[in-house]
Structure 1
Amino acid sequence: MEHILLLDYAGVAVFAATGALAASRKELDIIGFLFLACVTGIGGGTFRDVILNVPVFWVGNRDYVLICVAVAVIVFFTSHLVESRYRLLLWLDAIGLAAFSVMGAARGLTITGSPVIAIVTGVLTAAFGGILRDLLTGEPSVLLRPEIYITAAMAGAAVYTIADLALLPTDVSALIAFAAAFIVRGGALKYGWNVPTYKSRPGRHPNDIP
Structure 2
Amino acid sequence: MELIYYIDLLGTMVFAISGAMAAQRHNIDIFGAAFTGFVTAIGGGSLRDIFLNLRPVWVDDGNYLLAILAGVLIAIFFNKILGRLARTLSLFDALGIGFFTVVGVQKSLAFDSSGIAAVVLGLFSAVMGGVTRDTLLNDTPLIFRKEIYATACLSGAVLFVLLSRTGVDYNLNAFISAAVVSIVRIVAVKYKLTLPIVGG
TM-score, with length taken from structure 2: 0.91
**Residue identity (%):** 35
Residue 181 of structure 1, CA deviation: 0.2
2:63 aligned partner, one-letter code: D
The residue that corresponds to 1:33 in the other structure is 33
CA distance in 2, matches of 1:153, 1:105: 10
Mapping 1:85-164, distance limit 5 Å: 90-164=90-164
Question: Does the residue aligned with 2:57 lie in a helix, a strand or coil?
Answer: coil
Residue pair 1:11, 1:100 contacting (<8 A) in 2 also: yes
Residue pair 2:146, 2:196 contacting (<8 A) in 1 also: no
The residue that corresponds to 1:204 in the other structure is none
Question: Does the residue aligned with 1:59 lie in a helix, a strand or coil?
Answer: helix
The residue that corresponds to 2:187 in the other structure is 187
Question: Does the residue aligned with 1:112 lie in a helix, a strand or coil?
Answer: coil
Residue pair 1:14, 1:95 contacting (<8 A) in 2 also: no
CA distance in 2, matches of 1:6, 1:36: 22
Question: Does the residue aligned with 1:193 lie in a helix, a strand or coil?
Answer: coil
Residue 143 of structure 1, CA deviation: 1.7
Instruction: Select between 38-47 and 142-151 the one with higher mean Cα deviation.
Output: 142-151
1:72 aligned partner, one-letter code: V
The residue that corresponds to 1:4 in the other structure is 4
Residue 113 of structure 1, CA deviation: 4.3
Residue 27 of structure 1, CA deviation: 2.9
The residue that corresponds to 2:66 in the other structure is 66
Residue 195 of structure 1, CA deviation: 3.2
Residue pair 1:101, 1:126 contacting (<8 A) in 2 also: yes
- Against the structure 1 CA distance between its residues 52 and 83, is the aligned structure 2 distance closer, same or farther, given a 3 Å change threshold? closer
Alpha-carbon RMSD across the aligned residues, in angstroms, is 1.9
Gaps of 5+ in 2: none
Residue 25 of structure 1, CA deviation: 1.0
CA distance in 1, matches of 2:10, 2:144: 26
CA distance in 1, matches of 2:3, 2:86: 29
Instruction: Select between 96-105 and 163-172 the one with higher mean Cα deviation.
Output: 163-172
2:153 aligned partner, one-letter code: A
Matched, 1:78 2:63: no
Gaps of 5+ in 1: 201-210
Q: Would you say how many aligned residue pairs link Structure 1 and Structure 2?
A: 200
TM-score, with length taken from structure 1: 0.87
The residue that corresponds to 1:168 in the other structure is 168
Residue pair 1:41, 1:129 contacting (<8 A) in 2 also: yes
Residue 86 of structure 1, CA deviation: 6.0
Question: Does the residue aligned with 2:60 lie in a helix, a strand or coil?
Answer: coil
2:195 aligned partner, one-letter code: V
Residue 56 of structure 1, CA deviation: 1.4
CA distance in 2, matches of 1:161, 1:81: 39
Residue 131 of structure 1, CA deviation: 0.4
CA distance in 2, matches of 1:105, 1:160: 8
Q: Which has the larger radius of gyration?
A: 1
